[in-house]
Chains A and B, each alone.
Chain A
Amino acid sequence: MPEIRVTPLGAGQDVGRSCILVSIGGKNVMLDCGMHMGFSDDRRFPDFSYITRHGRLTDFLDCVIISHFHLDHCGALPYFSEMVGYDGPIYMTQPTQAICPILLEDYRKIAVDKKGEANFFTSQMIKDCMKKAVAVHLHQTVQVDDELEIKAYYAGHVLGAAMFQIKVGSESVVYTGDYNMTPDRHLGAAWIDKCRPNLLITESTYATTIRDSKRCRERDFLKKVHETVERGGKVLIPVFALGRAQELCILLETFWERMDLKAPIYFSTGLTEKANHYYKLFIPWTNQKIRKTFVQRNMFEFKHIKAFDRAFADSPGPMVVFATPGMLHAGQSLQIFRKWAGNEKNMVIMPGYCVQGTVGHKILSGQRKLELEGRQVLEVKMQVEYMSFSAHADAKGIMQLVGQAEPENVLLVHGEAKKMEFLKQKIEQEFRISCYMPANGETVTLPTSPSIPVGISLGLLKREMAQGLLPDAKKARLLHGTLIMKDNNFRLVSSEQALKELGLAEHQLRFTCRVHLHDPRKEQETAMRVYSHLKSVLKDHCVQHLPDGSVTVESILIQAAAHSEDPGTKVLLVSWTYQDEELGSCLTSLLKKGLPQAP
């Protein structure tokens, strides 16, 4: 029995280090290769030894697909390809291919230069790894090998994020990566056609949330920032360098312009500048507004937003700072947070999800005293606001996508177990399809029933189609033909041709049946009565009364004869060929019911 096997190495009932193994139609595909933000030991990378204990990964995996450039989806890539060893193709979209190395390099710097980790991947490894990447366009079907093909769909989430359809023969799996069903200030909404995959692997970060209108959130955000700035406070917005950052920048930029505000907006330097450059380039991946207006003005050329310098953090007066990373777990955002946390005039706005164990998660949970490295205790006096700007689909969005793709099964990853449980129940209840939520290392096996293509000649098809008059697309239709299995392929041909091809002679198969009728009259009269009865009942068929006293219905012959023993009973001999079986049996049962009483 063919089957699809799915094993999450990461992101199973968890957020972070997405890495899912899929075996479909004898092909093995790895979806995403991410790292975990919450750990800095071996657990940060997926356990690749699970894939194969002996031998090279390249022999086992047919391809690797990266959905987007966030580190929890691509962070382990250089480790995997260079240090563990993989030489096969790595598929990703063009923006991902462009931006991914910048983020990896940044990540490497923090890990090696700041934390002083040894045995980490090097810059050269990142470069080598990116050489293995193959760019995929939206809606382009890429033939990985003879059987395996993949296709990318727009996913919203961040620039270049894509959902992937993996297809082998008639079996297919869709992996959504992270996606967003509501458009934002710079990206459109995820979209997929009704591809009816066997399995849909979807993220479920916001499995229990249905968000308010996006505009409400934007208004609240702007209001909070505006108020704090007017009070003279400083606003810290920890973001990841790419994605939300750009959206919020556009939002604040237009707001500043309209309200004519003077307070400076800063953006932590380095990779952001490089990344912004790519945002300016990949206009086709952005939303309708930016695509339509970029000829006049590229929205990513900010007027009010300047690069941040470390010294600015101590300067007096109001300001708004976007700093990385987004979960306050390290780097610049954490440094600024430490400086500003003591002043109640200041505010930190967390625009997205925070993984457990990060400072962001702690302060959002209401912790007011934080223990930092070196036994320091930091008292948080500044206001802490949370505003869900994460570009993940909410519960309704997930349901919407499931409805759009119409999969046979759904598998949830990238979310918390408890919340997944809830959504799983909803999906099963509403779509009446089974839903899975495996933990890391747990394998889900789905039996599939692949369809087998059978060739049919046009002549036969047309002939058989012409039989029924009215179209009825949904109803199965009876087709007469002969199935020939030869040389590993299947063909449906007409019986004549089958005989010819196989060099066989045709055998006539005839059924005969006797029906006893109680009728005292003569044979001819009985035949006459049978004729008139059949004529009146079978209007659509050609009923004939032959001169020799027999009756024919199409090619079925009916003869009446007197019973040898009982003259009051007549025997009707009904005879038909195998091809007319349907009509023949129908006719016999009709005759068995008897004739209507003669007037």
Chain B
Amino acid sequence: MAAHLKKRVYEEFTKVVQQQQEEIATKKLRLTKPSKSAALHIDLCKATSPADALQYLLQFARKPVEAESVEGVVRILLEHYYKENDPSVRLKIASLLGLLSKTAGFSPDCIMDDAINILQNEKSHQVLAQLLDTLLAIGTKLPENQAVQMRLVDVACKHLTDTSHGVRNKCLQLLGNLGSLEKTVAKDAEGSAVRDVQKIIGDYFSDQDPRVRTAAIKAMLQLHERGLKLHQTIYNQACKLLSDDYEQVRSAAVQLIWVVSQLYPESIVPIPSSNEEIRLVDDAFGKICHMVSDGSWVVRVQAAKLLGSMEQVSSHFLEQTLDKKLMSDLRRKRTAHERAKELYSSGEFSSGRKWGDDAPKEEIDTGAVNLIESGACGAFVHGLEDEMYEVRIAAVEALCMLAQSSPSFAEKCLDFLVDMFNDEIEEVRLQSIHTMRKISNNITLREDQLDTVLAVLEDSSRDIREALHELLCCTNVSTKEGIHLALVELLKNLTKYPTDRDSIWKCLKFLGSRHPTLVLPLVPELLSTHPYFDTAEPDMDDPAYIAVLVLIFNAAKTCPTMPALFSDHTFRHYAYLRDSLSHLVPALRLPGRKLVSSALSPNITPHEDPSHQFLQQSLERVYSLQHLDPQGSQELLEFTIRDLQRLGELQSELAGVADFSATYLRCQLLLIKIMEETYKMEFMYSGVESKQVVIIHHMRLQAKALQLIVIARTTRGVDPLFGMCEKFLQEVDFFQRCFIADLPHLQDSFVDKLLDLMPRLMTSKPAEVVKILQTMLRQSTFLHLPLPEQIHKASATIIEPAGESDNPLRFTSGLVVALDVDATLEHVQDPQSTVKVQVLYPDGQAQIIHPKPADFRNPGPGRHRLITQVYLSHTAWTEPCQVEVRLLLAYNSGSRIPKSPWIEGGEMSPQVETSIEGTIPFSKPVKVYIMPKPARR
């Protein structure tokens, strides 16, 4: 045996050597190292006790194994498996086999026979379970191979009768993952021996072990996920499991019922103890509603969550969920429904609101009153006042989803949602505000509801207030008192929390534009104008006054009679605000005033917008240029850049496009600075597509070529140039591989020509390369940059620290002081990994701080909010001094490149993905006054 193994080890060695020889052809170097399997074998032979062997195996498992040596390792492991007496070592080997068979690039069908073989001789239940797990791994690696799957399913079925729950669990898992999907196909392949996987799994719904029951249900769900259509007969089985003693079984059963109800919503099921029938989805809805008052909160969360996605349920069942007292069994169709209404109004039960109304009254029909069975009844009332906030949140979410699909339900659930604004847990409040915003299209708030809603504005949590502003943006208010109330509350909020300024203005903008007719009667009062007397001109810098004006101007946009009520200074203020806060103040048609003739007449559709035309024209003009050399065209470029930048400042909606184009032009102009600029383009904008990425990379390549030329001109000697040339050629090669699909778009471009000449470049000397590049750069044409559909510039504003404080932050040197940083980020993709905080000390020392992922909130699409703490520390200073805090956008040039198959094939370690190549500052720096004092003795 030993000799045999030795031979195997040598084989392994020779194999590696052969690979080296192959690799010589591709000019790559690789370190020779002993084969994994050989090392493992030696280790395992050395092991004297099972504990030792286990240690070796554990160590071995920590290191990855290359695809080519997997098979050898597997053989070694199997050899040891046969010899091993200790079950724990066998267990570890079995688990290693499973791990190894998952290795990419390794086809595990060769292990399968061995694995099945050892499975048959194994006695230990734990090892058996582990082996089945390994088989599962093998099976999932070979999804195409029908025969293997059939065989594995057979093995699983055989072990289903094992006495250990662990083994049965794994068998069911295997069946769920590998059970044949298309029975007909299997029939042809295997003849009569087809097993009905669903039936087999279904039998284990009544296993004596709850863990096995859970596994059976999960396997069934797995089958469903893999696309197998479950039989309707399962529904009844699953319903029985709802009253199981164990929570995990009930939780899984709820899921299964939900799945079946989505598959057969319209089929009819009989109601037990009556001869009537209802739709299956309604029945399932009732059952899941009943689970909202289950004893285990895990089940309650599960049930509440699933309720939200049952949109096909009939409306009268839906509405029951909001009333606890509709006690009758409503399932008995219409007659019963009406009877229940009577019951409700006659009040068999008292509500607990009045004293003495709980004396039992005459019963109407005892048979119809059913406290338990009418499951749907009051499900949400229970869910919303549940003990655990997880359940409450799930209930609110479900309420939201159902309300979105049913306007009448939305109207009904409004009161409940408004009540949730007073929940004791902030997350629940926040969730219910968000929910309300989502369904706000379907509802109009009454005044008393608005009152409750607005009361939340005083909440000390910023997230809540901001969410509420968002909500107010899209609510419908029914009366002018409502608008007034909202304005008053918002202004109160503004004085209490001045940092909410922007969000409040934005909120008022939408409030104004939504309710012009309601604002109109309020205008004189709001502007405090008087019919006869001129009143004092309000202070233009008062945020509250601006807020009022924002409301009025936005209302005036669709209400032409309103400007007649304005006084002179209002018009002046309009002109000022229109220019300074153009995103909040719309263009108004002001008849008979000079101010109307402002350059920006009201735009009718965005396409005819002159500024948009202007943008197009200037870009076309630039693109018509063929070469970079002539002096005139450079000037033109400079002008165009300036124009575009100004345009971006004026028109916020075009800012993205204009800015983007301007940056591109500047790149053309300033090839030297291009390195940074290209990185900026690549990482500061969201919505950039691969087409643009190609061009950006192309640009970078050109810049690198230029850099090469410059260096070649200025340095003496040839040696450094060799390295540079080679590096450059590698870059070209890389570019070609990454963007091979996009190359046809780059006709006549620099890279197109470069690739034509590639063979020549490879062999020529650096000086020649430089010369070729130089001519090519001259000849290359200007690439047209296709604008993507949507492009947004990443930006950040630091709200806190405000940088206005004269009081230095004092702390003892050597210790740390925590500085609260609060910033809003717009259009940053994946801020958790890209946004960093930089602190610059006066001595030039710079510190980059990585905020925690939990510090980022996501209040709306494309917006993020960073609330974090930055720790500052320094040695003692004599004077207080300012440090600069700014936000950086970190990038890694590989991340935007479309993944080509060869990158996916090789396993990139996660560290490469997150590494940072460079950073771009994208916020204005804020100065913080600090003073590290010397420590007292």
Contacts and interface: CB of A to CB of B under 8 A. Distances in A.
Interface string A379-403: 0000000111000001110011001
Nearest to B390: A288
A215 B356 contact: no
A126 interface: no
B419 A219 contact: yes
B891 to A, nearest CB: 39
Contacts of A217: 352-353
Interface in A406-423: 418-419, 421-422
A93 B70 CA distance: 61
Interface size class of A (residues with CB under 8 A): 35 or more
Interface secondary structure of B, over-half rule: loop
Given A289-B389, A395-B371, A258 B353 contact: no
B416 A350 contact: no
Given A210-B327, A418-B360, A288 B387 contact: yes
Given A212-B351, A365-B355, A365-B356, A287 B387 contact: yes
Contact of B366 (A212, A213, A421, A425): A425
B638 interface: no
A470 interface: yes
Contact of B389 (A189, A216, A288, A465): A288
B717 to A, nearest CB: 68
B884 interface: no
Interface in A144-192: 182-183, 185, 188-189, 191-192
B325 interface: yes
A422 B360 contact: yes
**5 A-B pairs with the lowest CB-CB distances in the bound complex, closest first:** A388-B352, A386-B355, A215-B419, A183-B387, A211-B352
A191 B300 CA distance: 13
A219 B422 contact: yes
B386 to A, nearest CB: 7
B598 interface: no
B352 A426 contact: no
- Of B207, B366, B381, which is in contact with the most chain A CB atoms at under 10 Å from its CB? B381
Contacts of B327: 210
Contacts of B578: none
25 contacts: A183-B387, A208-B358, A209-B350, A209-B352, A209-B358, A211-B352, A213-B381, A215-B416, A215-B420, A219-B452, A220-B353, A259-B458, A288-B388, A289-B424, A386-B353, A395-B349, A396-B371, A396-B378, A426-B369, A462-B163, A470-B161, A470-B203, A471-B207, A471-B208, A472-B206
A370 to B, nearest CB: 16
Contacts of B4: none
Interface string A278-301: 000000000111000000000000
Given A288-B389, A364-B356, A473 B351 contact: no
Given A350-B355, A386-B354, A188 B295 contact: no
Contacts of B358: 206, 208-209, 419
Contacts of A287: 387
A474 B350 CA distance: 41
A430 B369 CA distance: 10
Contacts of A395: 349, 371
Contacts of A377: none
A215 B355 contact: no
A445 B883 CA distance: 83
- Of A206, A216, A421, which is in contact with the most chain B CB atoms at under 10 Å from its CB? A216
A502 interface: no
Interface in B565-621: none
B424 A189 contact: no
Given A395-B349, A399-B371, A404-B295, A213 B203 contact: no
B247 to A, nearest CB: 10
Given A258-B459, A288-B389, A399-B371, A193 B295 contact: yes
Contacts of A350: 355
Given A418-B360, A429-B366, A403 B372 contact: yes
A214 interface: yes
Nearest to A365: B356
Given A208-B349, A429-B366, A419 B163 contact: no
B384 interface: yes
Nearest to A216: B419
A387 B354 CA distance: 7
A471 B212 CA distance: 11
A238 to B, nearest CB: 14
B371 A430 contact: yes
A401 to B, nearest CB: 9
Given A209-B350, A403-B372, A462-B163, A418 B359 contact: yes
Given A212-B351, A365-B356, 15 more contacts: A183-B385, A183-B386, A185-B424, A189-B386, A209-B350, A210-B324, A210-B327, A211-B352, A212-B352, A213-B384, A215-B416, A217-B353, A289-B389, A419-B358, A426-B371
A194 interface: yes
Interface string B332-366: 00000000000000000111111110111000001
- Of B324, B388, B424, which is in contact with the most chain A CB atoms at under 10 Å from its CB? B424
A218 B349 contact: no
Contacts of B366: 425, 429
Given A213-B385, A215-B422, A425-B366, A474 B163 contact: no
B455 interface: yes
Interface in B736-795: none
Nearest to A399: B371
Nearest to A475: B206
Interface of A: 182-183, 185, 188-189, 191-194, 206, 208-220, 254, 258-260, 287-289, 350, 364-365, 386-388, 394-396, 399-400, 403-404, 418-419, 421-422, 425-426, 429-430, 462, 465, 469-474
Contact of A213 (B350, B359, B370, B416): B416
Contacts of B355: 350, 364-365, 386
A404 B161 CA distance: 32
A395 B369 CA distance: 13
A236 B387 CA distance: 29
Contact of B163 (A388, A396, A465, A469): A465
Given A396-B371, A430-B371, A472-B206, A209 B351 contact: yes
B629 interface: no
B204 interface: yes
B425 interface: yes
B879 interface: no
Interface string B384-402: 1111110000000000000
B293 interface: yes
A259 B360 contact: no
A212 B382 CA distance: 10
B519 to A, nearest CB: 27
Given A215-B384, A218-B422, A288-B387, A208 B359 contact: yes
Contacts of A426: 369, 371
A213 B419 contact: yes
A197 to B, nearest CB: 14
A388 B295 contact: no
A93 B293 CA distance: 27
B302 to A, nearest CB: 17
B907 interface: no
A416 to B, nearest CB: 9
A182 B292 CA distance: 13
Interface in B171-227: 203-204, 206-208
B843 interface: no
Nearest to B421: A215
B245 interface: yes
Contacts of A289: 389, 424-425
Nearest to B246: A194
A240 to B, nearest CB: 18
Contact of A421 (B325, B349, B360): B360
Nearest to B212: A471
Contacts of A194: 245, 295
A382 to B, nearest CB: 15
